[in-house]
Structure 1
Amino acid sequence: MSFYPILVFVHVTSAITLSAGNLLSLFGLFALRRAQRVEQVRAILGLLALSEPISAIAVVLTPVAGIAMTVMSWGWRNGWINVALGSFVLLLSMGVITGTRRGAIARLVKEMPDGPLPQSVEQRIHDPLLGTAVYMIVALLLGIVFLMTTKPVLEGALIAIVVSVVLGAAASLPLWRGRTGEEAGSPKRSSSDV
């Protein structure tokens, strides 16, 4: 048995794990935006923190196995591989934004007494950049999976990722709507907050 099938297994398994972690992040965002109390926010962030070590391993194994398969078999001449790798770097930058913003919320509520959410926490939870980063991660993952499964030429790969980015940005537009009027006060809750 060659080493290549093992790399495929590691790559696919870690990509599934990464996708599951990011879906949990998306559902966590929905739950945070519905939270009414400090203790609810702490519980949601605690659940999300449990998935972070597994997601971190997947973040490393997915590209390492992919690069190893590229070197062993595919080669760098395939445009979709380069686009997927570049998209993965963009995905990681969105992950840094998400992790930083959620970490700030966690530090804020850590020592707070149980009770209704203060305005300062509400504003951080409803930060449109946090929501945009989460939506972009999900959209980019879908785009990268599309590249992995269809293996298009360079132009097709670029179009697929551009479509993914546009979809992620479009999904996040409601998060930014009316933001200037809300910055002075508590953000409005609406159906677009979910």
Structure 2
Amino acid sequence: MIYNIVLFLHILGAVIMFMAIAILAASMISMLHAKDTAGIRLWSKLAVKIDALFPLSTLIILVPAFYLVFSTWGWGIAWINVSLAALLANSFLGPVINLRRLKGILSAAEADSESTPSAELLSKVRDRVLWTSVSSMSMITVGILFLMAVKLTVMGSLITMIVAIAAGFALANALLARVKSEKVVDTMQHQ
């Protein structure tokens, strides 16, 4: 009975994390496509607020996870160790890279008095480091979920994380390239 309740809490933490990732991604994509400063301001405010869910979801994931590891699984299992390392890396990258940049976008949007976003604000919204970080963290989270379901060996677990990170880089590049090509088309249509 206790095992099932702890497992439920562990899964609840994962659901909260995926919800936060989905809302953060939707906010960032909305910022990327916003035509006015007010839109960027609105979406960046939501992105900053939702980023606060990541530490909470990590805590809800980790506390039950430690119980499950100590009571049932043990530390000698590769997928657990790789998943834990990936989750801790995500927990570090979020505040260090994402939150700082998201707050920078919000500050710039609040300081921008023009209705049309400034080049500096647009540059912050299109920050390649931010997009790569958020996309990679999202794919790493999917990789962790995959490892929880499939329970691979060390090599399989490491390959899963490498593929997840590569997918994150590819996703960020694809999104930014698409916005750049849309901007070129818009510019050509307005000439």
TM superposition score normalised by structure 2: 0.86
Match of 2:73 in 1: 74
Instruction: Give yes or no for contact 1:128–1:175 (8 Å, CA) kept in 2.
Output: no
Q: Distance between the aligned counterparts of 2:91 and 2:53, measured in 1?
A: 15
One of 154, 177, 181 as aligned partner of 1:190: 181
Aligned-residue identity in percent? 22
Instruction: Give yes or no for contact 1:8–1:69 (8 Å, CA) kept in 2.
Output: yes
Q: Distance between the aligned counterparts of 2:62 and 2:77, measured in 1?
A: 16
Deviation larger for 74-83 or 34-43:
34-43
Greater helix fraction, Structure 1 or Structure 2: 2
Q: Name the SS for the 1:189 alignment partner.
A: helix
Q: Name the SS for the 2:115 alignment partner.
A: coil
Tell me by how many angstroms 1:53 deviates: 4.1
Q: Distance between the aligned counterparts of 1:169 and 1:92, measured in 2?
A: 18
Misfit runs of 4+, over 4 Å: 174-177
Superposed CA deviations along residues 106-159 of structure 1, whole A, max 9, x for unmatched, are 112224325110111011111101110111011101100001111112221111
Match of 1:105 in 2: 105
Tell me by how many angstroms 1:91 deviates: 1.5
Tell me by how many angstroms 1:67 deviates: 1.6
Match of 2:13 in 1: 14
Superposed CA deviations along residues 151-189 of structure 1, whole A, max 9, x for unmatched, are 112221111111111111222234677xxxxxxxxxx73
Query: How big is the alpha-carbon RMSD for the aligned residues of Structure 1 and Structure 2?
Result: 2.0
Match of 1:57 in 2: 56
List gaps (5 residues or longer) in structure 1: 178-187
Q: For residues 82-101 of structure 1, what are the structure 2 equivalents within 5 Å?
A: 82-96=81-95, 97-101=97-101
Q: Distance between the aligned counterparts of 1:122 and 1:112, measured in 2?
A: 11
Match of 2:148 in 1: 148
Match of 1:173 in 2: 173
User: How many residues matched?
Assistant: 181
Give the counterpart letter for 1:84 in structure 2: S
Match of 2:139 in 1: 139
Q: Distance between the aligned counterparts of 2:43 and 2:162, measured in 1?
A: 32
Match of 2:187 in 1: none
Q: Name the SS for the 2:76 alignment partner.
A: coil
Instruction: Give yes or no for contact 2:139–2:165 (8 Å, CA) kept in 1.
Output: yes
Instruction: Give yes or no for contact 1:39–1:115 (8 Å, CA) kept in 2.
Output: yes
TM superposition score normalised by structure 1: 0.85
Deviation larger for 52-61 or 103-112:
52-61
Relative contact order higher in (CA < 8 Å, ≥ 6 apart):
1
List gaps (5 residues or longer) in structure 2: 184-191
Instruction: Give yes or no for contact 1:39–1:114 (8 Å, CA) kept in 2.
Output: no
